Amino acid sequence: MDRYEIRLSGSGGQGLILAGKILAEAAAIYDGLNAVQTQSYGPEARGGASKAEVVISDGDIDYPKAVELDLLLSLTQESCNKYSGDLKEGSILIVDSEAVKDLPQGDYRIYSLPISEIALHKVGKAVVTNIVALGILTTICGVISAEAVRKAILARVPKGTEELNMRAFNEGCQRAAELLSG
């Protein structure tokens, strides 16, 4: 794998930078690949467009930013509009179906799931939307092992929230698996 580029996008405060760090750690530490995670955010603490990028490779990674996306996650319409232009042919777009109604036209594999809804009503907390998204993304892209992502989540999330985060991740994995087989 020369270069696999992932961008996680939404609005500030949704935990996308943490999700990016978890993905990068899963790939680089637990799956033995190379990974670089970068981020971009505005001067405000909440709201505004936010994105985290993870570039994964089995070789060295020189340029650390994403240029041609293999996978884009969008939790808001604004971020989907802003970033879907960087998707390359045949790439993957995962969106929160509650927030993103307007889908881009193009040669993409689009997966629309109620991500924040699953977090809030299935898992019980909106705050784990990012971890549900990680479960979905891991299952659909197949580049990083679910086991590696689980280990990386446990290493990063606050003490006492491990069980909640594992439920969120597993729920995401399961929903994506159903979508893929259905």
Partner 1 sequence: MEKSESSTTLMMQGNQACAVGALAAGCRFFAGYPITPSSEIAEYLSVQLPRRGGKFIQMEDEIAAMGATIGASLTGLKAMTATSGPGFSLKQENIGYACMTEVPCVIVNVMRGGPSTGMPTLPAQMDVQQARWGTHGDHEIIVLTASSAQDTYEQTIRAFNLSERYMTPVILLLDEIVGHSTEKVVLPRQSEIEIVNRKQPEMPPQDYLPYKTGPDLIPVLANLGSGYRYNVTGLCHDETGFPTNDTRNNEALIRRLVEKIKAHRDDIVRYRERKLDDAEIVIFAYGSVARSAKSAVVKCREKGIRAGLFEPSVIWPFPVKEVFALSGKVKAFLVPEMNLGQLAREVRGAVEFKVPVHQLNRVDGNPITPLEIVNKVEEVI
Nearer to partner 1, 22 or 72 (CB): 22
Which one of residues 29, 127, 164, 166 is an interface residue with partner 1 (CB under 8 A)? Answer: 29
What does residue 172 show for φ and ψ, rounded to 5 degrees? -60, -45
Q: Which of residues 163-182 bind partner 1 (CB under 8 A)?
A: none
How many amino acids of this chain bind partner 1 (CB under 8 A)? 22
| DSSP per-residue codes, 71-129 | EEEESSHHHHHHHGGGEEEEEEEEEETTT--SPPPSS-EEEEE-HHHIIIIIIS-GGGH
Shortest reach from residue 22's CB to partner 1, in Å: 10
Q: Which of residues 53-92 bind partner 1 (CB under 8 A)?
A: 61-65, 67
Task: Using the Cα atoms of residue 58, residue 141, residue 121 and residue 98 in order, give the sign of their dihedral.
Answer: positive
Query: Using the rule CB under 8 A, is 43 a contact of partner 1?
Result: yes
Shortest reach from residue 121's CB to partner 1, in Å: 32
First-to-last CA distance in the chain? 28
Which residue ranges make up the site for partner 1 (CB under 8 A)? 20-21, 24-25, 28-29, 34-43, 61-65, 67
